[in-house]
Structure 1
């Protein structure tokens, strides 16, 4: 069996003529690619047309050498019409006025003059277009009346074409400005979406950092404390080895590792879930007894069956977890810790205190307190942390029991 040759992709559909014309019209004339080359080719085509008209149409006399020079002088500047529209129009007018005054063929320079007028109307401000159009019409009619009354009336009659070209150029300018404003609004909307996406990414990274800090710092601190207990039992009196104490410390280390592994797995599952709003199981107040017991602290919970939003429960749990970590880490051996959680006055009040007997017990160098304040603010609450008057350290948080969206409104 011979391998099948892949089918080539269908050729791109070429835009229709009307679409290409609208694209060319709506494009900024100064931003067009190869504009000088295209304008030079257009000026060449108009020059050829002018020469043909001057030789074939009997509208005035055939130009002499000066007339040909003036006719050429009115066409050559058109190659720069988009980059210098007003100077080009002035150059055309300077050449055309004596050309018509000498009663040369009046139809030959018409197309170049109208193109220069259109370019000014499509690029200049409306007031400038009005003043320039008035000056051009007035000058043309005056010059033609000086040549001949019949030519003057004919110029007055054909001045409607000049007005039509000016109006058309002004309409094109307005249309281009409208397209530019639409594109600008679309670009601003795209930038706003990108900034919002970047903000969401930053918030998500901050949330991940808080979760990992709360989880790992607490677990590692407990493991360190329990390891110190086992090491102390082994080294103080090796002859009277307290196997029960060592076994208890090792069991607590194993329990802490299992708990940390489960919470880390939960965190990773939330991060891998689809969508920015993917939700996962959050820690709640029912997990506090085990957390506090592992830190050998006292717990007093009085919620009185109050309705506590899951986000508030998770924030309270993480605040207690980080406070216990700080107390165990900085409070020294034998530190006494008390945790109180109470629902009252529309708030869930969380207080963690210790006696902080070790030197430097109230000092910290990490992001624990900053993370706790961010936890509290995330549900519309407040948090205060600092040394106690009688010694030790205290963390006090007030978390509103309303829905999070209401609390932040």
Structure 2
């Protein structure tokens, strides 16, 4: 394809050179100058047009050959205007396709050379006016082409800046969309997983009461069903609030705000109602930043969800320790641990085995967003332990703004 394009360019330039040469010969015959056109002049004039066939492939060489052949033509006082189109065309091509500094220097050198040669001839009158016209043509071509090139360079630079800015905006938009999708995924996970787990536990308890064969305790069954109904109502309300914020209706209606670390006691109470011996212990009087409290709440919520869902534990301990500028969270259970299939956290929900869960991944991402860390693994005495360290102040993570938005994203479903 490239070879065909070059052949086509050479063919077109050859035709152009032939047309210009024919026109120049006709003009030199029709309007002779100081010296009438003879075979030598015709040969020089035609030869000055031959290099134009390679003007695009070798613009510098073509211009040099045109000047070298046209110079004796002018010295012999043939019709000067007849050769001017070929000279201007070669100079224009070189000015467009050559380097700018080289073009200016070469044009200036050509101008000085023409001036020196023509004025050394001592011509006057009409011949002097022709010499001035040639000089003006050279100066006009060089200045005009350089002005055009400067304008084209500025236009190209402006276009490139606009395209780069557009690409940057698109990349930023894609990044924001990815972050928002990740945030929505975490919110929905926190909102639904815990409530569905509680509903499943209470429904299982009710089914066990019915199938146990002992006399039915209507009050106990009604309590389980009422808890299921209450959890469904709360989940529906919170899901509606989350979707309302995600739509960004702009009506100013505040969404449900996650309670932060102060709501962890409710999570422990809910775990206790699910049949666990749940204990909450808090140490230290320092207070954490609101966004850190939200992260702490959701980490404990997810850890308790995993205990209820997977661990088959009898007890769980939640420790909140505020000291040395950090909030340390420990959730330890006495369940099966990560070794058993479906074990708490690492096995079933963290996705270490099957890759099906996102609980530990979500906790880690939330902790990182405020500059904290999360570690999860088997406890020293068995069971499973989730340990998180969060700075009491907003960390250096990139999720500060995201968690500020989380405050309007709706409270995840608590265990009821």
TM-score range, shorter chain: 0.7 to 0.9
Q: Which residue of 2 aligns with 1:23?
A: none
Deviations 1:50-75 (A, max 9, x none): 57753564533443567557646655
Deviation at 1:371, TM superposition (A): 0.6
1:347 to 326, 335, 346: 326
Conserved 8 A contact 1:141-1:155: no
Q: Which residue of 2 aligns with 1:105?
A: 79
Worse-superposed segment, 265-274 or 57-66: 57-66
Q: Is residue 205 of structure 1 aligned with residue 181 of structure 2?
A: yes
Change (3 A) 1:370 1:100: same
Q: Which residue of 1 aligns with 2:387?
A: 396
Q: What is the correspondence of 1:354-393 to structure 2 with a 5 Å cutoff?
A: 354-357=333-336, 360=340, 361-362=343-344, 363-364=346-347, 365=351, 366-393=357-384
Separation in 2, partners of 1:327, 1:37: 82
Deviation at 1:388, TM superposition (A): 0.9
Conserved 8 A contact 2:51-2:62: yes
Separation in 1, partners of 2:107, 2:184: 66
Secondary structure of 1:240's aligned partner: coil
Deviation at 1:305, TM superposition (A): 7.2
1:129 to 91, 94, 103: 103
Separation in 1, partners of 2:172, 2:267: 37
Q: Which has the higher contact order (CA 8 A, sep 6+)?
A: 2
Separation in 2, partners of 1:77, 1:91: 6
Change (3 A) 1:401 1:100: same
Runs of 5+ consecutive residues of structure 2 not aligned to the other structure: 1-8, 273-277, 352-356, 401-416
Q: Is residue 118 of structure 1 aligned with residue 92 of structure 2?
A: yes
Separation in 1, partners of 2:12, 2:267: 78
Q: Which residue of 1 aligns with 2:267?
A: 291
Separation in 2, partners of 1:77, 1:324: 86
Secondary structure of 1:238's aligned partner: coil
Change (3 A) 1:211 1:36: farther
Secondary structure of 2:123's aligned partner: helix
Separation in 2, partners of 1:188, 1:319: 41
Q: What is the correspondence of 1:3-402 to structure 2 with a 5 Å cutoff?
A: 50=24, 53-54=27-28, 57-64=31-38, 67=41, 71=45, 74=48, 85-86=59-60, 88-90=62-64, 92-93=66-67, 96-97=70-71, 99-100=73-74, 103-129=77-103, 132-133=106-107, 136-137=110-111, 140=114, 150=123, 158-159=134-135, 161-235=137-211, 237-273=212-248, 280-285=255-260, 286-296=262-272, 297-301=278-282, 304=285, 306=287, 308-309=289-290, 311-332=291-312, 334-357=313-336, 360=340, 361-362=343-344, 363-364=346-347, 365=351, 366-402=357-393
Runs of 5+ consecutive residues of structure 1 not aligned to the other structure: 1-34
Conserved 8 A contact 1:343-1:349: yes
Change (3 A) 1:67 1:174: same
Conserved 8 A contact 1:119-1:169: no
Conserved 8 A contact 1:340-1:350: yes
Secondary structure of 1:104's aligned partner: coil
Secondary structure of 2:82's aligned partner: coil
Q: Which residue of 2 aligns with 1:24?
A: none
Change (3 A) 1:62 1:267: farther
Alignment TM-score, normalising by the size of structure 2 = 0.73
Deviation at 1:242, TM superposition (A): 2.8
Worse-superposed segment, 220-229 or 323-332: 220-229
Separation in 1, partners of 2:331, 2:174: 36
Deviations 1:69-125 (A, max 9, x none): 764665587687557633543564465346445543111221331232122123211
Conserved 8 A contact 2:20-2:86: yes
Conserved 8 A contact 1:337-1:355: yes
Change (3 A) 1:244 1:186: same
Conserved 8 A contact 2:32-2:78: no
Deviations 1:130-154 (A, max 9, x none): 56436645765687689x5539988
Separation in 2, partners of 1:37, 1:189: 42
